[in-house]
Structures are given as structure tokens and as C-alpha cells.
Amino acid sequence: MSQITRTTSDGNRPGTEIKTAPSEPIDRASARGKRRGPRPSLGAQFMSSTVLWVYAFIAITPLLLMLMNSFRTNQELATQPLGLPLSPDFSSYQRAWIEASFSTYFVNSLVVTIASVVLSTVVSLLAAYGLARSQSKVLQVVESIFVSGLMMPVYLMIVPIFYLLDSMGMVSTREGLILVYTAVSIPFSVFVLGAFFRQLPLELEEAARIDGAGPFRIFWAVMVPLVRPAIATVIIFRFVPIWNDFFYPLILIRDPSKYTLPVGLTSFFGEYQTDWSTLFAGLVIATLPLIVLFLLATKQIVAGLTAGMGK
């Protein structure tokens, strides 16, 4: 074990390093102190790189195969299970999109997800601000009731929700699903946004009030712009689970023209059992918006997942 112990540290926490790390000479400790603890031997470094690359391969290969196989014909898939889409064929997408009604499912998913995320974010913003800036004991109880919703099990609620929507004539409607998603999103969104509002100093509101702004004007013009990062986090962290959700629409949507993508997938997989490339195309269509969102907001997602977990 050839270990050189380094004791320099400029107090950099991981994640704050400068992105372009120059390669260092092996025999001299760098003065940057960015690596933590003793330097691993070269052999250990090589081993750890190998393990990480192997797992990266395991994590990503099925997704790449899903994408590649959607461009290959059934014949190619049958004769050569492993192969590259050398002559990409887009007809599977056409079949999934038009024949298998994925265009309908996609629009339904998009409408339901966007409407639920927008509606739940707006009502949660209002509620979080009201709770953060009030000092009554009653409202503290209201807040704990909201946050207790984080613990509510979906299986307990689903049957009563079904009959509630039934009595309102909202089974198999997008509006019904949107209202349910909005309601179940409130606990998380109020919790996150409330934490951010509480960090903001009261002087801002005082200054605005002295300038003659009313409470709603202060809220929209002063406070909401200040919690923009939190709003982005809440939007992403509600968009993904709602887009992917399967249980609620499986039970609350009975009409195929109102299916969201996950429910559409279940009937599609029964119907197109032998048309493999179309099945792959359907899976890609259901996943693509998330991958796009992820590539646009990786930093936000990784930061959000680990928020408050550092200590």
C-alpha cells in the first residue's frame, strides 16, 4: 500500500470543486486538497474505476437496448437478438403512435400531468406562504395536517376516492384525475415551499408594505420570484411521479380514450404481444419526455434528491 497522506485542505466540500480538474503528477500531493482522506493506491483507483464503469454499463444498457430495438424490425429481432439498428426503421413508431393510440395516451398524460403540477404548485405556494407568515396556533395544526399527508397510504384512500369521483360524475375524466393528483401533491409541495419561505427575512415584506403594496401584491411581486429555485424543485419532483403514476389511472379511468400512458401500456402489451419492435417503441414514447426533462435539469434533480441529507 503506497499511500501518501495529505493534510492540506482548503475546506472545499464535495460538489463545489472546480469542474476542470488538471491531472496531477502521481508523486506529489497537490495543494488543492480536494480529494478527501488518504490517496488510494493506483491499483485501488483502477479497480474503483472499473467497478463504476461496469455498473454504469449495467444501469444504462437496458435503456439503450430499448431505444435501439425500437428501430429494428421484428424479423431482425427474431434472427439477431443482439444487434445494432444498422438500417433504422421508424414504422414501429408509426404503429405505436397511430394504430395503438399512443397519440391519445400521450396527450392525456401531458394534459393531466401539466395541469396537476401547475394547479398543485399554485395552491401550495399560496398555502405555504400563508402558513409561513402567520403566527396562530390553529394554523400550525393546519400545517401539520397537510404534512401528515406525506404518510397517507394510497391503498387506504383509493376505494373511497373512486366512489367520491363516481358520485361527482368524474370517473374516467381527466378533471377528476387532475383534482386527485393535485390533492395528493399538496403535502410535499407545502412542506418544501414552506421551508423556503421561512428562510426569507421579514424586512422585504415590510419594505413593500411601506411602499403601499397589499398582501397579494407582495406575494406575487416580491415573494414568489424569491423562491424560484424551490418552485423548480417542486415542479420536477411532482412531474416525474405523476407522469409515471399507474395506480390512480388504472382504477379511476375506465374509458380507453382517457387512458394515460402507463394504463395505455397495459392494454397495449396484451394486444401487441408478438409485435416486439412496436412494444419497444411504445416504451420509448412513454419514457422520452422524462429523459428530456432529466437532461435539462440533472443538477436540480440530484440536488433535490439529496436536499437536507448532508448532515
Partner 1 sequence: MSTSVRVRKRQGVSGALPQRVAWLFILPAAVIFSIFVLYPMGTALTYAMFEWQGTNRGGFVGIENFLKLFTEEPYRTQIPRAFLHNFLLFGAAMIVQNSVGLFLAELLHRRKKFKRLFQTLFTMPYLVSPLVVGYLWSLMLSPLFGPVNAILKLIGLESLAQPWLGQPSTAIWVVVLVTAWQWIGFPLLLYGAALGGIPQELEEAASLDGANPWQRFTRITFPMILPIIGTVSVLTFIGAMEAFPIPYALGGSAGSPAGATDVMSLVFYRTSFESGATNAIGVSSAIAILLFLVIFGFSILFTRWFRRTERKLF
* 89 interacts with partner 1 by CB under 8 A: no
In the structure grid, which three cell numbers stand for residue 230, read together? 424551490
| 156 forms part of the interface with partner 1 (CB under 8 A) | yes
Q: Does 14 bind partner 1 (CB under 8 A)?
A: yes
Which residues, 213 to 252, sit near partner 1 by CB under 8 A? 215, 219, 240, 243-244, 246-247, 251
What's the CA gap between 160 and 93, in Å, rounded? 38
Pick from 42, 63, 98, 221 the residue near partner 1 by CB under 8 A: 63
Reduced DSSP (H G I as helix, E B as strand, rest coil) percent helix, strand, coil of the chain, to 5: 70, 0, 30
Stretches 2-10, 86-94, 95-103, 227-235: which one binds partner 1 (CB under 8 A)?
2-10
Segment near partner 1 (CB under 8 A); pick from 89-97, 99-107, 137-145, 226-234? 137-145
Judged by CB under 8 A, the residue of 229, 266, 271, 296 near partner 1 is 266
Grid coordinates standing for 42?
493506483
Binders of partner 1 among residues 91 to 120 (CB under 8 A) are: none
Shortest distance, CB of residue 27 to partner 1, whole angstroms?
18
A 10 A CB-CB count for 184 gives 22
Cα distances from 297 to residues 8, 102, 137, 233, in angstroms, run 34, 26, 38, 9
> E-strand spans in 57-213?
none
Backbone angles phi, psi at 168, to 5 degrees: -90, 0
With cell 393528483, the residue in question is 181
Q: Is 58 in the site for partner 1 (CB under 8 A)?
A: yes
3-state class (DSSP) for residue 27:
coil
Q: Which set of grid coordinates corresponds to residue 299?
A: 443538477
Report if residue 149 touches partner 1, rule: CB under 8 A. Answer: yes
* Smallest gap from residue 161 Cβ to partner 1 (A): 5
Site pattern 162..191 for partner 1 (x: CB under 8 A): -xx--------------xx-xxx-x---x-
Size of the site for partner 1 (CB under 8 A): 108
Name the segment binding partner 1 (CB under 8 A); options: 89-97, 100-108, 195-203, 226-234. Answer: 195-203
The amino acid present at 237, given as its one-letter code, is F
Closest CA to 117 of 220, 233, 285, 219: 233
Q: By the 8 A CB rule, do 182 and 116 touch? A: yes
- Binding residue (CB under 8 A) for partner 1 from 38, 43, 229, 256: 38
Cβ 59 to partner 1, closest distance in Å?
A: 5
Give residues with Cβ within 8 angstroms of 68, minimum separation 6.
84, 85
Of 84, 98, 152, 232, the one binding partner 1 by CB under 8 A: 152
Closest to 123 in 3D by CA, of 66, 55, 193: 193
Is 4 a binder of partner 1 (CB under 8 A)?
no
Q: Mark the segment that binds partner 1 (CB under 8 A) among 92-100, 205-213, 225-233.
A: 205-213
